């Protein structure tokens, strides 16, 4: 008996849930006739099954030219007509608001019944547009998808002109981040140009235009009306914005966040901070320990509470700055506002901020952790989930939750280089081999476990994200930072053509860091701190990342790997093993004493016992290394907590015409 026959039998027995499951399975297996696919879709709809499965089948059948009228009738009656009243009401309210709007120069709104597009709701977020004239569906569209798709703010010399913007998210983004003309002392309206009046009107069924009209910041232009850009508001409307004084950027002007993520240690984060330092449209500082940020937020909350109490008792209350004094009186202040205020108060870093800019600045934020510790769990279906306490803290942070607009970028450095550089830093800078209580962990396995370049497509913080290679930034800075500025939707400014701190060019921001765009750190391999076997192990376990992000394999030959080959690599872990053992012997075991029945024995651990202890630690690590690499032989299937697959973060693509050197491999 075939799966669809089982589904029919269940339907005959009125076992609706089982029938829906069987029909869904039959559809996923494929091989059904168009009539059978329609049968399955219709049953699933009427039985209350997974409607997306049914809807998708109907859409594909129609698109493929099968049973088109039947599919269209079902989709219309089941999905379009039940939502028709809501769309009509939204359309009429938008039209009424626009009819009174002074900077829209057409009022010939079509009747709702004559609109050139119908929108079939697919789920809570999006639609399938249908063109009745062509009798054809377009692809799925989510008008609230939280992605800024283009570089709106590339050129700030003239008022912003944006063409054919049909994303609700992007319309609100532009409205919230372009400053009023009165605040910048010059004409600064947002000009929205649409080629087709009819298409624009059709979208009034699904967009909420009314909420971006209140401050009259927008000028709507259609077709040939583009010739009116930019309007002379003084001549046409008697509005002379030059009479207004430029308003300083304030906390409440900040609506967007650029999250500069910490993928791992020694990954080039300082370099990127140096490039973005003193950008006129950013609140930018070097990386800050996240613990310190949280402590400062709590400190200011306490200060505000104490000040409120003092005022209620008739005592004076003082503020640390004008920014914080103003924030004190804002009863709607949030943790996000406190962080923005902390940045604005750093005058040494904000001295090049352009208070007269056409756009509000973004908060450029790199919250830092002592270590990004990842782990993996595996379920009975062979699926793997990534775990990271530090990332969970970011995701649950009130600061990150409060930002409506988030752009995320992650620097990546060749992983074997980053690994060896971290070990070098721990030994040379922190003296981790001779510091009481400090131990070196298995940094090689830490790197293999850290797959933070695999992102959850359902996670808001990674909806609009890109990965940029450290080596590209060093070897092709013009191409890299032009592209990165475009992704982040900021101008590529002169300040991005050099490295600086507090505006001072080419300074050594941390001891041992190379200066500016010096490429020395691109080609260093730190051979004294990593063996070839350690690096081959890392490359094998992360071979998918190397391939996706354009790194050649330098230590792993790409050949077949089994458990025996992994064991051969582990025998060559002499570098990291010796450092781990030395840190235990020097920093922990040297101060340890024997205890017998709870009583301390007055003698240090002897060398033989110390060696047995460190051997036990190495054996433990080898067992974990072998288990991890063996699991990665089969390329695990990574999922989020809802069972949805993770995907690689997109890589920043560079314009070949701007390359100064061949791409690093």
| pLDDT tens, residue by residue, 198-209 | 999 999 999 999
Q: What's the CA gap between 86 and 112, in Å, rounded?
A: 12
pLDDT at 599: 47
Residue 596, pLDDT > 70, answer: no
Question: What is the arithmetic mean of pLDDT over 170-195?
Answer: 98
Cis peptide before 230 (omega within 30 of 0): yes
SS (H, E, C) 373-395: CEEEEECCCCEEEEEEHHHHHHH
User: What is the per-residue pLDDT across 487-500, written as a single tens digit (0 to 9) for each?
Assistant: 999 999 999 999 99
Question: What is the arithmetic mean of pLDDT over 96-100?
Answer: 98
Residue 473, pLDDT > 80, answer: yes
Let me know the angle formed at the C-alpha of 277 by 271 and 278, rounded to the nearest 5 degrees. Answer: 160
Q: Would the CA dihedral through 268, 269, 270, 275 be positive or negative?
A: positive
Residue 68, pLDDT > 50, answer: yes
pLDDT at 595: 55
Question: What is the arithmetic mean of pLDDT over 635-640?
Answer: 91
Question: What is the arithmetic mean of pLDDT over 177-196?
Answer: 98
Please tell me whether residue 372 adopts helix, strand or coil conformation. Answer: coil
pLDDT above 90 as % of the chain:
83
pLDDT at 158: 97
Q: What's the CA gap between 282 and 167, in Å, rounded?
A: 25
pLDDT at 605: 58
CB 137 within 8 A of CB 128: yes
Two tokens at 281?
């449209």
Question: Is pLDDT larger for residue 308 or for residue 583?
Answer: 583
Q: At what angle do helices 574-587 and 415-428 cross, to 10 degrees?
A: 30
Question: Is pLDDT larger for residue 614 or for residue 133?
Answer: 133
CB 509 within 8 A of CB 286: yes
Residue from 206, 202, 84, 169 nearest 406 by CA: 169
Q: Would the CA dihedral through 27, 29, 34, 36 be positive or negative?
A: negative
Cα 4 to Cα 8, 28, 34, 57, 584: the distances in Å are 6, 11, 13, 15, 63
pLDDT above 70 as % of the chain:
98
Q: What's the CA gap between 628 and 540, in Å, rounded?
A: 11
pLDDT at 604: 56
CB 478 within 8 A of CB 655: no
pLDDT band at 602 (very low <50, low <70, confident <90, very high): very low
Q: CB neighbours (10 Å) of residue 598?
A: 5
Q: What's the CA gap between 482 and 127, in Å, rounded?
A: 34
pLDDT at 592: 62
Find where tokens 């240690």 sit. 265
What 8-state DSSP symbol labels residue 84? H
Instruction: Report yes or no on whether pTM surpasses 0.85.
Output: yes
pLDDT at 568: 97
Residue-averaged pLDDT of the chain: 93
Residue 552, pLDDT > 80, answer: yes
Two tokens at 81?
């007509």
pLDDT at 317: 72
pLDDT at 164: 98
CB 492 within 8 A of CB 482: yes
List the beta strands (DSSP E) in 76-217: 118-121, 127-131, 136-137, 161-163, 190-194
């Amino acid at each position: 008996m075939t799966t669809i026959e089982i589904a029919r039998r269940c339907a005959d027995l009125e076992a609706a849930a089982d029938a829906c499951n069987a029909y869904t399975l039959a559809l996923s297996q494929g091989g059904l006739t168009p009539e059978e696919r329609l049968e399955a879709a219709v049953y699933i709809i009427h039985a209350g099954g997974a409607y997306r499965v049914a809807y998708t089948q109907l859409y594909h059948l129609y698109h493929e030219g099968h049973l088109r009228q039947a599919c269209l009738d079902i989709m219309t009656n089941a999905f379009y007509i039940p939502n028709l009243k809501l769309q009509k009401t939204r359309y009429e309210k938008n039209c009424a608001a626009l009819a009174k709007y002074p900077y829209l120069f057409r009022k010939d709104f079509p009747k709702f019944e004559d609109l050139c597009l119908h929108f079939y709701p697919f789920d809570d977020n999006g639609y399938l547009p249908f063109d009745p004239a062509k009798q054809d569906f377009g692809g799925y569209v989510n008008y609230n998808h939280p992605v800024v798709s283009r570089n709106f703010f590339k050129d700030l010399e003239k008022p912003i002109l944006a063409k054919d913007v049909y994303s609700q998210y992007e319309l609100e983004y532009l409205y919230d981040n372009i400053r009023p003309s009165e605040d910048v002392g010059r004409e600064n309206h947002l000009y929205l140009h649409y080629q087709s009046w009819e298409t624009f009107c059709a979208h009034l069924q699904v967009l909420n235009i009314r909420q971006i009209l209140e401050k009259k910041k927008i000028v709507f232009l259609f077709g040939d009306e583009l010739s009116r850009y930019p309007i002379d508001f003084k001549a046409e409307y008697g509005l002379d914005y030059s009479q207004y004084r430029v308003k300083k950027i304030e906390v409440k002007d900040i609506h967007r966040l650029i999250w500069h993520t910490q993928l791992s240690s020694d990954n080039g984060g300082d370099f990127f901070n140096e490039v973005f330092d003193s950008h006129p449209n950013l609140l930018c500082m070097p990386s800050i320990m996240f613990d310190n940020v949280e402590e400062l937020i709590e400190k200011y909350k306490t200060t505000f509470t104490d000040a409120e109490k003092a005022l209620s008792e008739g005592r004076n209350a003082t503020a640390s700055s004008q920014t914080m004094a103003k924030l004190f009186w804002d009863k709607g202040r949030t943790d996000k506002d406190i962080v923005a205020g902390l940045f604005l108060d750093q005058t040494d870093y904000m001295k090049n901020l352009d208070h007269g800019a056409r756009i509000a600045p973004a908060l450029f934020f790199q919250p830092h952790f002592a270590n990004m510790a990842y782990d993996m769990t595996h379920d009975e279906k062979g699926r793997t989930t990534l775990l990271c306490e530090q990332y969970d803290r970011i995701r649950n942070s009130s600061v990150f939750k409060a930002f409506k607009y988030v752009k995320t970028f992650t620097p990546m450095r060749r992983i074997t280089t980053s690994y060896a550089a971290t070990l070098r830093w721990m030994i040379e800078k922190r003296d981790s081999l001779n510091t009481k209580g400090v131990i070196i962990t298995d940094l090689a396995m830490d790197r293999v476990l850290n797959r933070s370049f695999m992102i959850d497509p359902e996670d808001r913080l990674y909806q609009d994200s890109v990965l940029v290679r450290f080596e590209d930034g060093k070897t092709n800075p013009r191409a890299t930072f032009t592209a990165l500025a475009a992704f982040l939707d900021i101008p590529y400014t002169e300040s991005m053509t050099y490295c600086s701190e507090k505006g001072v060019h080419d300074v050594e921001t941390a001891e041992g860091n190379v200066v500016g765009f010096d490429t020395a750190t691109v080609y260093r391999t730190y051979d004294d701190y990593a063996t070839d076997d350690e690096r081959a192990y890392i490359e094998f376990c992360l071979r998918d990342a190397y391939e996706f992000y354009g790194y050649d394999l330098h230590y792993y030959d790409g050949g077949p790997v089994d458990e025996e080959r992994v064991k051969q690599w582990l025998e060559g872990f002499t570098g990291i093993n010796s450092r781990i053992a030395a840190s235990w012997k020097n920093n922990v075991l040297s101060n340890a004493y024997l205890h017998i029945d709870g009583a301390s024995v007055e003698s240090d651990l002897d060398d033989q016992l110390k060696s047995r202890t460190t051997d036990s630690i190495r054996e433990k690590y080898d067992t974990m290394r072998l288990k991890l690499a063996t699991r990665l032989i089969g390329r695990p299937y990574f999922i989020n907590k809802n069972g949805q697959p993770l995907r690689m973060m997109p890589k920043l693509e560079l314009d070949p015409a701007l390359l100064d050197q061949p791409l690093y491999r």
